[in-house]
Amino acid sequence: MAAPPDPVSPGSAAQTWKLLTVARIKPLQEGATASVIKADDSSVVVHRDPTEVADDDEEDAPGGTAAFALDKVCGPEAPQEEVYGLLKPVVTGATKGRNGCVFAYGQTGSGKTHTVVGGDSFRERGLVPRAISQIFRYASKRQPAKVSVSATFAQVYDDVLYDLLDPRNSGENVDDWVKARVLEDNGSLKFDGLAEYEAASEADALRLLWLGSERRKTGRTKANDLSSRSHAVFTLYVFDEEARTRAKLHLVDLAGSERFSYRTKDVASFESRNINLSLHHLEHVVRTLCETSPALSPRKHVPYRNSVLTSMLRDSLGGNCRTALVATLAADAEHARESAATLRFARRCGAVKAVAVQRNLDLDPGEQLVARLREENRTLRAALREADGALTKAADDADRALRRAAAAEAKARDLQQALDGPRGHRAASTSDSDAPPPRASAPSPSQPPPNPRDLLSRGAVVLKHGRTGLQSVQPRFAWVSAERVLRWRRLGDGGDGDGDASGSARLADYADVEAGGDVRRSRRSSMGGALDSCALTLIPAGEDRPLTLQFDAGSAAASTALRDDWLAALRAAVAAAQADDAASGTV
């Protein structure tokens, strides 16, 4: 039957999740020598025989000591409760509408099935029974709200999918069982021939677990008298009618990984070959996910379809799911090679990129469309904010570059004057209309109106005058000369074809100076919004065109302060120019 749909609600709060890696070391057998040692809470050390010959596919040298860093490490004394406590967030997420997956990986006889299913006593319960108890405790607290739980139990044997709960699949010969299939429908997975069974209580769910576990294919190997020869996937579906959330929780007990030429000389080579092949495909998927994330690079091919196991776990590996790996390790020296291989796989899993896990809401098509559009709106707004921040940073960088260029120009001019000596002294005695004035600090409010000469290093000025259009004037290149003439100069940057440009305006030709003006926004501005409030206009006494100056000092407050200083200075200069002309009879 089809698996319940997973309509991810874009409007639900996404939580970042990185694949959790946990190592569990099996207690050492009596009389054996330990080769796998817990170094601390997040690292394992494996001691190898220095004389051991490496296999062709081993990444590191076989001999000596190798250390592996994971998220958590449980030593041989760690009880089942401690291991489950590390994996509990995955189960809790399923009760909140977030998909989850926990899979146990390790060599034959390292304790995978004990970790997943558990032992004979209540205290030795494994991951699945404890997860079932937690989910039904959540359901009881939600009363009278309706929380429904259902389950499937699948077996992958010889890369073929079987339903362990199908009454027809109870015979000894697996070839006589009814085969199931993994299908895809518009990007979602469907399982044809895999039935979903409702579990009205914790006892019902446990009954389904024990029934499927008894039918699971096992066999005898040198490492384990009752070795799992198939992959088992027990899946719980949790639906909360009040919260309208639906999630699935995969609990996976993989078949034992082992070196074919080393461990399986006298076991069924057919089973071992297919187990190793399916685990190889799983490792290939993990390697690909380490290189890229499907969410970030959807065109990157991830080989999920290479095996039935990876097809089933497609949405659990690199998808919208909280995923955890339990790497089980045999501590004795005889199994050091397999333990190192298991830890290498766990280390690769830990390198898989983090994903954003969202809640799955059970919505009708109309509601899904509204939620999708709302999410697109949120995404676009976030992108706009990010772009806005990038533009602001670029504008700030440009402002800093302009100030550095102005400072370098001032130093170069000062150095040239020092080198010129007497010629520099004579040049300084001539009219200051030939060169920009030196930098001076801005005056305090208690001083007379500032001279525009003293404001040059505080920001850029843009002038609009006659037919010359807008001219971007850098610091130190706009000033008022001793003849009461406003002068400006622009240095060409070679990028737009403009060379050096200069201009002037006789202040005696203007009647007044007003704040504001009709100036279009400077592309270089970092202030944003309209810039009329950061401009001033010289009103002509006759029919000449007004002269508008726009100021940009990197922020609205700084630009307004610069404009006000210029306003006071130019009003004083215009008044002085008119007085000079009146006294000389030239007005």
113 annotated to bind ligand? yes
Question: Residue 101: which pLDDT band, with cuts at 50, 70 and 90?
Answer: very high
Question: Residue 392: which pLDDT band, with cuts at 50, 70 and 90?
Answer: confident
Evaluate if residue 500 carries a pLDDT over 90: no
Higher per-residue confidence, 461 vs 305: 305
Per-residue pLDDT, 276: 82
106 annotated to bind ligand? yes
Evaluate if residue 346 carries a pLDDT over 90: yes
Exposure letters 32-69 (e unless 16+ CB within 10 A, then b)? eeebbbbeeeeebebbbeeeeeeeeeeeeebeeebebe
Exposure letters 424-462 (e unless 16+ CB within 10 A, then b)? eeeeeeeebeeebeebeeebeeeeebbbbbbbbebbbbb
109 annotated to bind ligand? yes
Report CA 440 to chain centroid distance, whole Å.
48
- State the average pLDDT for the chain: 77
Helices (H), 245-355: 260-263, 269-291, 308-312, 336-350
Of 165-179, 288-302, 351-365, the poorest mean pLDDT is in: 288-302
* Angle at CA of residue 206, ends 200 and 210, nearest 5°: 140
497 annotated to bind ligand? no
Averaged pLDDT for residues 266-294: 77
Domain boundaries, given as residue ranges, for the chain: 15-22+85-363, 429-584
Evaluate if residue 104 carries a pLDDT over 90: yes
Evaluate if residue 536 carries a pLDDT over 70: yes
Averaged pLDDT for residues 137-160: 89
Evaluate if residue 68 carries a pLDDT over 90: yes
Say if residues 235 and 251 touch (Cβ distance below 8 Å). yes
Averaged pLDDT for residues 296-303: 65
Evaluate if residue 252 carries a pLDDT over 60: yes
Higher per-residue confidence, 418 vs 445: 418
What's domain 429-584's architecture? Roll (2.30)
Per-residue pLDDT, 473: 53
Averaged pLDDT for residues 217-230: 62
Evaluate if residue 544 carries a pLDDT over 80: no
Per-residue pLDDT, 292: 64
Say if residues 333 and 339 touch (Cβ distance below 8 Å). no
Per-residue pLDDT, 556: 76
Higher per-residue confidence, 485 vs 198: 198
The percentage of residues in the chain with a pLDDT greater than 90, rounded to a whole number, is 29
Tell me whether the CATH fold assigned to 15-22+85-363 matches the one assigned to 429-584: no
Evaluate if residue 59 carries a pLDDT over 80: no
Averaged pLDDT for residues 344-359: 88
Q: What DSSP character marks residue 84?
A: H
Query: Phi then psi for 217, rounded to 5 degrees?
Result: -70, 125
Per-residue pLDDT, 259: 60
Task: Establish how many alpha carbons lie within 13 A of residue 188's alpha carbon, considering only the half-sphere containing its beta carbon.
Answer: 11
Per-residue pLDDT, 526: 42
Evaluate if residue 153 carries a pLDDT over 90: yes
Per-residue pLDDT, 451: 58
Cα–Cα dist 231/217, whole Å: 9
108 annotated to bind ligand? yes
**Three-state SS for 467?**
coil
Question: Residue 587: which pLDDT band, with cuts at 50, 70 and 90?
Answer: very low
Instruction: Quickly name the fold that domain 15-22+85-363 has.
Output: Kinesin (3.40.850)
Evaluate if residue 467 carries a pLDDT over 50: no
Averaged pLDDT for residues 86-95: 95
Sign of the dihedral through C-alpha 131, 137, 142, 145: positive
Higher per-residue confidence, 417 vs 183: 183
Cα–Cα dist 30/334, whole Å: 13
Helices (H), 421-502: 422-429
Cα–Cα dist 238/97, whole Å: 8
Cα–Cα dist 288/142, whole Å: 41
Of 294, 248, 251, the residue nearest 98 (C-alpha): 248
Evaluate if residue 568 carries a pLDDT over 80: yes
Q: What DSSP character marks residue 142?
A: T
DSSP-derived pairing of the beta strands 43-48 and 227-228: unpaired
Higher per-residue confidence, 518 vs 445: 518
Per-residue pLDDT, 396: 80
Averaged pLDDT for residues 289-308: 71
Angle at which helix 127-141 crosses helix 80-95, to 10 degrees, equals 40
Per-residue pLDDT, 365: 65
Averaged pLDDT for residues 334-362: 87
Averaged pLDDT for residues 386-401: 81
Kindly list the distances between the CA atom of residue 112 and the CA atoms of 19, 23, 313, 433, 489, in Å, as whole numbers in the listed order.
19, 11, 18, 88, 79
Question: Residue 498: which pLDDT band, with cuts at 50, 70 and 90?
Answer: very low
Report CA 217 to chain centroid distance, whole Å.
41
Evaluate if residue 137 carries a pLDDT over 80: yes
Averaged pLDDT for residues 398-417: 80
Of 235-244, 285-294, 452-461, 559-568, the poorest mean pLDDT is in: 452-461
Per residue in 18-40, pLDDT (tens digit) is 999 999 999 988 877 888 888 88
Q: Which two tokens stand for residue 358?
A: 């969202």
Averaged pLDDT for residues 418-433: 52
R_g of the chain, CA atoms, integer Å: 38
